[in-house]
Amino acid sequence: MLNIKQLSCTLLLTLVSVGTTAAAADTPSLKLVQEGTEIITDLPPQIVDGHVMIPIRTAAKLWGKTIKYDAKAGVVEVSDRMKVIWEDKSKSIKLSGSPGEDGMYKRMGISTPVFTRNYLPIKNVTTNRDPQVITADVTGDGEEETVVITNIGYGTGLSLSEMVVLDADGSIIPHEDPLIAMMKQFTGRVTDEGVEVELNGKITKFPKAQIQADPAYLFGPAIGSVLYYSVENNTLNARAAVQISPAQFIGDLQMSYFYKNGILQAGQASFELYPEYQGN
């Protein structure tokens, strides 16, 4: 019986056709390179019948797969390497991800008592903060939707959230990008007196005395480094931090969604200074 290590050395996977029928012995040695880094394999890549071949175990690792070998049945099973990263046992909901070597989940899937979806359109998800799965009627149709909120982090304390809303059948309900919606509604500027944030015609002034940043690093109010989603009272919300330098954040833009024409649409945003800056 072959063990997995032996299997990796004997089973080869077609990688790409090279348009030649030269025998492996007549071809130069090959290197397997991923993004500029050479990958060392148990059996070197070789050309067989005009195709570049690599060990299947190596291919599985490169593409985030797992392999199982059933010698009795003569079956090699290739499957996604998924790990349960969040679970609500009371509602029988599981969120799974395919862990990468960099500590990020490369692929997300969800299972509920009603539906299973093996792929969610979410980018790399950090393991630094647990994802959230919330059931709520955010569309107002009388049925609960499933809201998946994940975090893609930088490792610097800043955080961006991503969100997917699924209907009762597991279909994705589209939603407007909150950052773009907020950018359409607000602007700001640096003045001699400090910083001004203008949102839908309302101006909030941030005095110069409260600016902690070096003038060389000061810029007009901006968003995009910190974004959080939340669900409260069946309402989907988004909140983005407003910053005036790489290290100083002065308040939050907040916005709620409403459902219309099959889309969760962004409502009117509001701005609020952080408590330490209010009343000054």
CA 113 to the chain's CA centroid: 24
Contacts of 262 (CB under 8 A, 6+ apart): 173, 174
Alpha helices in the chain (DSSP H): 4-10, 56-62, 178-185
Can you give the pLDDT at residue 153? Answer: 58
Lowest mean pLDDT among 63-72, 80-89, 179-188: 63-72
**116-143 residue pLDDT tens:** 998 888 876 765 567 889 999 999 999 9
Cα distances from 24 to residues 30, 49, 53, in angstroms, run 10, 8, 10
Separation of alpha carbons 115 and 171, rounded Å: 9
With bands split at pLDDT 50, 70 and 90, how would you rate the model's confidence at 161? confident
With bands split at pLDDT 50, 70 and 90, how would you rate the model's confidence at 38? confident
For 185, the 3-state DSSP assignment is helix
The full length of the chain comes to: 280
Quote the mean pLDDT of the chain: 82
* 178-182-184-188 Cα dihedral, nearest 10 degrees: -150
The DSSP result for 100-128, as a single string, is -TTSEEEEEEEE-SS-EES------EESS
Would you say the pTM of this structure is higher than 0.85? no
Separation of alpha carbons 177 and 170, rounded Å: 21
Residue 246: DSSP 8-state: S
Separation of alpha carbons 123 and 116, rounded Å: 19
Can you give the pLDDT at residue 264? Answer: 98
Separation of alpha carbons 21 and 55, rounded Å: 20
Counts for the chain of helices (H) and strands (E), in that order: 3, 24
Separation of alpha carbons 268 and 68, rounded Å: 52
